[in-house]
Amino acid sequence: MAAALPDPEATPPRRRRLRIAQPRSLRSRQLWAASFGLIAFLALAGFALDHAFQNTAENGLRERLHSYALAYAGSDFARDGSVIPPWVAPDPRFMRPGSGLYAQIVLQSVHWESDSAQGPRLPQGPLLAPGTRQFDGPLPMTRINGDQGMVYRYGYGLAWISANGDKEIPYTVYVLEDASALADQMATFRAALWGYLGGAGAVLLLLQTVVLGWSLRPLRDVIDELKRVQAGSAAGMSEAHPRELEPLTESINAFIQSERENLEHQRNTMADLAHSLKTPLAVLRARLDAEGSEAELRQEVDAQVRRMSDLVSYQLARAARTGHALYAAPIEIEPYAEQIVVGLEKVYAGRGVLCEFEIAPEARFHGEVGDLQELLGNLLENAFKWAQARVLLTITEVAPIAGRRPGLRIVVEDDGPGIAEDKIARVLQRGVRGDERVQGHGIGLAIVQDIIRAYRGELRVGRSEERGGARFEVELPGGP
């Protein structure tokens, strides 16, 4: 029976991540990283100090053996060529057999050793040329008790010249020292070194843990405040945080505020919609209960249905517009502005209204495309309605506050009759039109205000000094 082929469209099995690959907490990451770094530093420092001390000890041994060799370099020679060593040894250990410090004088046919070399079997060195110095070791040897050991050996090549200068005897002085002395010295130093480094490492690790906990305490405070916000016991993040965490807490507060405003707006929208539909429904109920012709009833139903349709469309559009993203990508403004202006110039072609616009190349709108279209569309359509021949659109950047992105300023001017100062507040009310003879619902500027309020901006209405008509100025602040 043939094996079933795997389904190419089947969902591939999820691969389980290894636990070691899962992200650890910031405290664990920093603690492990700092601990490994500290241990590596102490290890490198310990090996460096150990190597430096060993070199220093070996140099000291070489210099000490050299000074002993100079002492035996003053030896004399008998007529038969035998060696006459110094009467007083440079160190008492040269006189004690198996003491660990030995001297040898090597000639072509004669070999002399100090009393300390009687018993141990020491390595024999060659005859060196006069002036030659040689340091060897550790070399194998046999101690006086038969145990195997190691020695360091220093050789110094010399030449003895007779008083009348007619005879020259080349010889070499060797001074040997048991390597156990240097090994014991190194062992003592290493025990002290690694003991002190280990203790210092433990103290530093403990101090590092304390400092790390202290430095991460603000993050724990942020987490605690977030938990209180989630539990409802706090309205938002406090301002008592380090400067490095201020952008985070400000963004969290902005997000919380935005979500609360969106929720409140949704509730208000539903309440407004219910309240708005109450009157048309009441009118329809009254017409059904009242006596009248079918034509009158049909006409009333048609009017109220259109009214309810307009109300529903407006409230749904309003709810969709206000739910903008808190952090949105920058949008280039000129293409959308040009598209809106071209459409309006076609609609109002019979009146010959034209629009000029000056848009800074660097100006960007940080929000949703629908909000930008509604904002520009309503402002420009309002200007086209009232303009006699010309409309001016100006968009520039607002100088940013330190650490924030630039804001945006939108100015729409027309050459129409303008708005009297005492009527500005009334015109901005929802459902109110500046002139009942002009077609519209009176909600365009209300939509503009809702969008500006959602972006925490400001709307200023006045008279245009350049065109003579109305001037609408919108200023949107920069974001984080």
pLDDT in tens, 355-387: 998 999 999 998 888 788 888 988 998 899 889
pLDDT band at 411; cut points 50, 70, 90? very high
Q: What are the residue boundaries of the structural domains of the chain, listed by start?
A: 76-179, 245-321, 328-476
pLDDT band at 324; cut points 50, 70, 90? low
Angstrom CA distances, 422 to 418, 425, 426, 459, stand at 12, 7, 8, 16
Check whether 100 has a pLDDT greater than 60. yes
Give the pLDDT confidence score for residue 3 in this predicted structure: 47
Check whether 403 has a pLDDT greater than 80. no
Distance CA 407, CA 435 (A): 33
Check whether 71 has a pLDDT greater than 60. yes
pLDDT band at 395; cut points 50, 70, 90? very high
Please tell me which residue, 28 or 70, carries the higher pLDDT value: 70
- 236 neighbors 251 (Cβ within 8 angstroms): no
Give the pLDDT confidence score for residue 320 in this predicted structure: 62
Give the pLDDT confidence score for residue 410 in this predicted structure: 94
pLDDT band at 283; cut points 50, 70, 90? low
Angstrom CA distances, 237 to 220, 227, 404, stand at 13, 10, 20
Between the CA atoms of 324, 327, 329 and 335, what dihedral angle is there, to the nearest 10 degrees?
40
pLDDT band at 443; cut points 50, 70, 90? low
User: How confident is the model over 196-216, as pLDDT tens digits?
Assistant: 888 988 898 888 888 878 877
pLDDT band at 26; cut points 50, 70, 90? confident
Check whether 472 has a pLDDT greater than 90. yes
Side-chain-side CA neighbours of 8 within 13 Å: the count stands at 0
pTM over 0.85: no
> By percentage, how much of the chain surpasses pLDDT 70?
82
Give the pLDDT confidence score for residue 343 in this predicted structure: 81
CATH code 3.40.1190.20 for 328-476:
no
Check whether 441 has a pLDDT greater than 70. no
User: How confident is the model over 166-187, as pLDDT tens digits?
Assistant: 677 788 899 999 888 888 888 8
Check whether 42 has a pLDDT greater than 60. yes
Distance CA 47, CA 57 (A): 15
Check whether 352 has a pLDDT greater than 80. yes
Q: Work out the average pLDDT over 85-114.
A: 85
Please tell me which residue, 381 or 239, carries the higher pLDDT value: 381
Give the pLDDT confidence score for residue 244 in this predicted structure: 74
Check whether 393 has a pLDDT greater than 90. yes
Check whether 326 has a pLDDT greater than 80. no
Check whether 340 has a pLDDT greater than 80. yes
Distance CA 337, CA 476 (A): 17
